[in-house]
């Protein structure tokens, strides 16, 4: 990133990142990045508030239930890759959802090493209760945009998502082991 302080010459010559020698972001890139991150942060905060108030669930739990509702039973690994969440974090969230009776977990008939997750009728009913408010909050992002804006935003964000997803999924990363106590 460039140094935004006056007199640092940040806009004159791309600075180099000392870590990996990557070029710094120019002013347009930096402003775009901050606008995107602020909009996402504001939207996610409002969605979290709505989901907690109307359903007693987090955004991650909503993502898991919505994905299971849309796609049917999935393995824990498929869920982790789909919602971009760590395996351990997903296991914890799935445990909370299972305890609440919103999902079930069991062995996969196709792969004995895999755990298959299924949404329950109570999970579907909860989604039905929170979806209207979820849509209302999501409109905060979409309503100020024209149809042409939406087409452009969809195209741009699809390219960004696909580029970022081309990296190996988090679930494929080797697990970090803590050293054994001496």
Alpha-carbon span 164 to 170, nearest angstrom: 12
pLDDT number for residue 50: 97
Retrieve residue 52's tokens. Answer: 């907690």
Is 74:135 a contact under the CB 8 Å cutoff? Answer: no
pLDDT band at 3 (very low <50, low <70, confident <90, very high): very low
Residues 45-76 pLDDT 10s: 999 999 999 999 999 999 999 999 999 999 99
Residues 4-48 pLDDT 10s: 544 444 444 445 455 567 889 999 999 999 999 999 999 999 999
- Return the domain boundaries, the chain: 27-167
72-97 burial, b for 16+ CB within 10 Å, e for fewer?
Answer: eebbbbbbbbbbebebeebeebbeeb
pLDDT number for residue 119: 98
Task: Tell me which residue has tokens 């994905």.
Answer: 67
Alpha-carbon span 20 to 5, nearest angstrom: 22
Retrieve residue 110's tokens. Answer: 């196709």
Alpha-carbon span 134 to 47, nearest angstrom: 7
pLDDT band at 84 (very low <50, low <70, confident <90, very high): confident
Model confidence, pTM: 0.74
Alpha-carbon span 165 to 118, nearest angstrom: 25
pLDDT number for residue 110: 87
Residues 90-99, mean pLDDT to the nearest whole number: 94
CATH class held by domain 27-167: mainly alpha
Helices 27-55, 121-142: inter-axial angle, 10-degree rounding: 140
In a 3-state reduction of DSSP, which class is residue 103? strand
Alpha-carbon span 18 to 36, nearest angstrom: 25
pLDDT number for residue 8: 42
Q: Of residues 50 and 83, which shows the higher confidence score?
A: 50
Positive/negative CA dihedral, 124, 60, 56, 54: negative
């Amino acid at each position: 990133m460039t140094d935004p302080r006056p007199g640092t010459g940040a806009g004159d010559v791309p600075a180099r990142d000392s870590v990996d020698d990557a070029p710094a972001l120019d002013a347009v890139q930096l402003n775009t990045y901050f606008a995107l991150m602020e909009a996402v942060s504001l939207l996610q905060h409002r969605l979290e508030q709505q989901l907690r108030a109307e359903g007693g669930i987090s955004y991650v739990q909503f993502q898991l239930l919505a994905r299971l509702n849309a796609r049917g039973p999935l393995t824990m690994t498929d869920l982790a890759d789909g919602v971009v969440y760590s395996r351990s974090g997903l296991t914890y969230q799935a445990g909370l959802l299972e305890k609440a009776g919103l999902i079930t977990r069991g062995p996969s008939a196709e792969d004995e090493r895999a755990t298959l997750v299924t949404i329950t009728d109570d999970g579907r009913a909860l989604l039905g209760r929170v979806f209207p408010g979820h849509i209302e909050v999501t409109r905060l992002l979409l309503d100020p945009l024209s149809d042409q804006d939406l087409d452009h935003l969809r195209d741009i964000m699809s390219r960004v998502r696909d580029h970022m997803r081309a990296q190996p999924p988090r679930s494929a990363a080797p697990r970090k082991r803590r050293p054994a106590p001496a």
